[in-house]
């Protein structure tokens, strides 16, 4: 009887939208607080904070998934949303506690994983890709408007109002889960008590990585994903700070950049991706996406003017087609009972990159002495004279050394991807996995056994 109506994808979509809309409002205030809290080694500390959060999420996501398979999704949706949003009110109370709680919140900050499990419970196999795409598009849509709204409210009314508004939206999300979201896991699938055993094999975060070397094609795909997503994860953790304080972007310019990039990415991952898949094939689409990513990272690395960042951002939207194309290749070539296993390996690699990438980028900024002397004024003159003057003071030939490292990493990924065959049959030996799925599978959902037991490894490509 709990919840409103029967479980649907729209319940999951609203949960994701509210959570990331709240965080999107804080984009501009977070950059300012980060610099004020760590004025000496801003990029290094930002990388360490995001790196710790990413590694903790990588380690805890499979365990939370195993627990939700036994005890139901709703309670874990509530848990993950609460801990993901818990740091928000601390931004104005205590910045040090704010960043400390962000790091530790990685243990529970895996909302996307539980949401994808929720969607897997209530959709047929042929509907699942569309449902996952809707959830991912909702994430992008929440970030199209919220940073701009937060920047505007912060300039007019102050950052305190933005933090209060973000906290209120987070509380609304928690109340929505409590009142409106029905449980997606059928009652007969849940045990009578909370002491029921779980599968520790599924809870092992390294279980999927251990199977990587069992098939040469899977190994090539995973190396490609690792080398291409490592710089992407690092870029997401530090790029908006880089725009704000090294390139001299105002808060409004950063918000507009996020909005434009989000809209272009949605177009690239829907219309452009489908056209490319039909015209040049799956493998060539992956290679093209990697080529765009190399160009984008090199442009970020050498660019010293704001217009260069805008141009490279348009290229970045095109590079976002890579991971959907990789997922499609795996989905098309793997056997039905191998889908969850192979997709889980790829997402496990990405989870590892979410921890390593931010720390690596912060460390490279630190090595090359890319530090901040003072925060540029929000009112940057047209033409970016503040940024230009800053670079002249820095005497830096390469403004963004981590981005050039990322370009080299993606170039290696491109060379590895050349050896991936267009048509193959992936065969990963996982007898224990199949045995486990056979004894604990969900009879209510006619999906592949691997996919039924690996819903939490179907992560987002954010």
Confidence (pLDDT) at 452: 38
Confidence (pLDDT) at 199: 61
Examine the domain organization and report whether 242 and 356 are in the same domain.
yes
**What is the domain range of residue 154?**
1-185
In a domain, 392, yes or no: no
Confidence (pLDDT) at 429: 47
30's tokens: 């977070």
In a domain, 191, yes or no: no
How many whole angstroms separate alpha carbon 281 and alpha carbon 278?
6
Confidence (pLDDT) at 128: 64
Examine the domain organization and report whether 223 and 269 are in the same domain.
yes
In a domain, 122, yes or no: yes
SS3 string, the chain, reads CCCCCCCCHHHHHHHHHHHHHHHHHCHHHHHHHHHHHCCCCHHHHHHHHHHHHHHHHHHHHHHHHHHHHHHCCHHHHHHHHHHHHCCCCHHHHCHHHHHHHHHHHHHCCCHHHHHHHHHHHHCCHHHHHHHHHHHHHHHHHHHHHHHHHHHHHHHHHCHHHHHHHHHHHHHHHHHHHHHCCCCCCCHHHCCCCCCCCCCHHHHCCCHHHHCHHHCHHHHHHHHHHHHHHHHHHHHHHHHHHHHHHCCCCCHHHHHHHHHHHHHHHHHHHHHHHHHHHHHCCHHHHHHHHHHHHHHHHHHHHHCCCHHHHHHHHHHHHHHCCHHHHHHHHHHHHECHHHHHHHHHHHHHHHHHHHHHHHHHHHHHHHHCCCCCCCCCCCCCCCCCHHHHHHHHHHCCCCCCHHHHHHHHHHHHHHHHHCCCCCCCCECCCCHHHHHHHHHHCCCCCCCCHHHHHCHHHCCCCC
In a domain, 310, yes or no: yes
Examine the domain organization and report whether 171 and 75 are in the same domain.
yes
Examine the domain organization and report whether 37 and 152 are in the same domain.
yes
Examine the domain organization and report whether 93 and 20 are in the same domain.
yes
Q: Which residues pair with 166 in a beta bridge?
A: none
Instruction: Name the domain boundary from 185, 202, 234.
Output: 185
How many whole angstroms separate alpha carbon 19 and alpha carbon 109?
11
Examine the domain organization and report whether 221 and 80 are in the same domain.
no
Instruction: Find where tokens 């709240």 sit.
Output: 22
57's tokens: 């999420």
Instruction: Name the domain boundary from 185, 203, 220.
Output: 185
Examine the domain organization and report whether 221 and 322 are in the same domain.
yes
| Tally of domains within the chain | 2
Confidence (pLDDT) at 457: 37
In order along its 462 residues, the chain shows pLDDT tens digits of: 466 778 888 888 899 899 989 988 888 788 888 888 888 777 888 888 888 888 888 888 777 777 777 777 888 889 889 988 889 988 888 888 888 888 888 888 778 778 877 887 787 766 666 677 677 777 777 877 788 888 888 888 888 899 999 999 999 999 999 888 887 776 555 554 445 556 666 667 777 677 777 778 878 888 898 999 888 888 877 787 788 777 878 878 888 888 888 888 888 877 888 788 888 888 888 899 999 999 989 888 887 788 888 888 888 888 888 877 887 777 666 665 455 556 666 767 777 888 888 888 888 888 877 665 444 444 433 344 444 444 433 444 556 788 889 999 999 999 999 988 876 555 554 444 444 444 444 444 444 333 333 333 334 333
- DSSP class of 268: I
Examine the domain organization and report whether 246 and 283 are in the same domain.
yes
How many whole angstroms separate alpha carbon 380 and alpha carbon 211?
51
In a domain, 382, yes or no: no
In a domain, 98, yes or no: yes
Examine the domain organization and report whether 251 and 150 are in the same domain.
no
Examine the domain organization and report whether 114 and 7 are in the same domain.
yes
Confidence (pLDDT) at 444: 41
Phi/psi class of residue 377: alpha, beta or left (left: φ > 0; alpha: ψ in -120 to 50)? beta
SS3 assignment, position 334: strand
172's tokens: 């609304």
Confidence (pLDDT) at 445: 41
In a domain, 114, yes or no: yes
**Taking the complete model, does pTM exceed 0.75, yes or no?**
no
Confidence (pLDDT) at 446: 40
Examine the domain organization and report whether 222 and 166 are in the same domain.
no
In a domain, 304, yes or no: yes
User: In this structure, what CATH number is given to the domain that contains residue 348?
Assistant: 1.20.1250.20
Examine the domain organization and report whether 140 and 250 are in the same domain.
no
């Amino acid at each position: 009887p709990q919840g409103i109506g029967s479980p649907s994808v729209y319940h999951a979509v609203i949960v994701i939208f509210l959570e990331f809309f709240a965080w999107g409002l804080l984009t501009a205030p977070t950059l300012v607080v980060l610099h004020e809290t760590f004025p000496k080694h801003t990029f290094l500390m930002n990388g360490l904070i995001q790196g710790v959060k990413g590694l903790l999420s990588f380690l805890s996501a499979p365990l939370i998934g195993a627990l939700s398979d036994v005890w139901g999704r709703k309670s874990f949706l509530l848990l993950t949303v609460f801990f993901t949003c818990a740091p928000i009110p601390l931004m104005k109370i205590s910045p040090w506690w704010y960043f400390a709680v962000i790091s530790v919140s990685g243990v529970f900050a895996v909302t996307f994983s539980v949401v994808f499990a929720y969607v897997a419970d209530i959709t047929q196999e042929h509907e699942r890709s569309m449902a996952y795409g809707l959830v991912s598009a909702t994430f992008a849509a929440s970030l199209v408007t919220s940073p701009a709204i937060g920047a505007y409210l912060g300039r007019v009314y102050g950052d305190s109002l933005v933090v209060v508004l973000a906290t209120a939206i987070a509380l609304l999300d928690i109340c929505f889960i409590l009142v409106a979201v029905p449980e997606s896991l059928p009652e007969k699938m849940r045990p009578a008590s909370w002491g029921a055993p779980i599968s520790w094999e599924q809870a092992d975060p390294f279980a999927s990585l251990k199977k990587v070397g069992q098939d040469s094609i899977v190994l090539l795909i995973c190396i490609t994903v690792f080398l291409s997503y490592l710089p992407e994860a690092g870029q997401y953790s530090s790029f908006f700070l880089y725009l704000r304080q090294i390139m001299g972007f105002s808060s409004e310019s950063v918000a507009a950049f996020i909005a434009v990039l989000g809209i272009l990415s949605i177009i690239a991952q829907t219309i452009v991706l489908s056209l490319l898949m039909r015209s040049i094939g799956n493998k060539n689409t992956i290679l093209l996406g990697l080529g765009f990513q190399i160009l984008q990272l090199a442009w970020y690395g050498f660019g010293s003017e704001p217009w260069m960042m805008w141009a490279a951002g348009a290229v970045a939207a095109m590079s976002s087609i890579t991971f959907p194309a990789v997922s499609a290749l795996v989905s098309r070539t793997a056997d039905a009972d191998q889908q969850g296993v192979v997709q889980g390996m790829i997402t496990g690699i990405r989870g590892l990159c979410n921890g390593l990438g931010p720390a690596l980028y912060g460390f490279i900024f630190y090595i090359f002495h890319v530090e901040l002397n003072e925060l540029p004024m929000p009112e940057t003159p047209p033409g970016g004279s503040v940024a230009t003057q800053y670079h002249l003071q820095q005497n830096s030939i390469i403004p963004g050394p981590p981005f050039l490292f990322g370009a080299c990493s993606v170039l290696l990924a491109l060379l590895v991807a050349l050896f991936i065959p267009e048509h193959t049959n992936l065969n990963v030996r996982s007898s224990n996995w199949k045995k486990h799925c056979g004894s604990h599978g969900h009879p209510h959902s006619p999906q592949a056994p691997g996919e039924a037991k690996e819903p939490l490894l179907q992560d987002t490509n954010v």
